[in-house]
Amino acid sequence: MSDEIQNAGGKGYCLMYGFIGLFLFVILVVSIYYRNFASLG
């Protein structure tokens, strides 16, 4: 029983870090895009 809970927790942390990494990556790309767009305009 405890092994199942630990395994689910590991998957949950992996998924959570994946979402956080993707979120930060999107923010980085958008900020770079807007900075370049502002400098061009």
Per-residue pLDDT of 2-33, as tens digits, reads 676 677 778 889 999 999 999 999 999 999 99
Q: What is the pLDDT of residue 41?
A: 62
Q: Would you say residue 1 has pLDDT above 60?
A: no
Could you count the other beta carbons within 10 Å of the beta carbon of residue 35? 10
Pick the closest to residue 33 from 25, 19, 17 (CA basis). 25
In 1-41, where does DSSP find H-type helix?
A: 2-40
Give pTM, 2 decimals.
Answer: 0.63
Distance CA 3, CA 37 (A): 51
For 1-41, list the strands marked E by DSSP.
Answer: none
The residue to which tokens 């502002």 are assigned: 38
Whether residue 37 has pLDDT greater than 90: no
pLDDT at 17: 95
Report the pLDDT value the prediction gives residue 9, as an integer from 0 to 100: 79
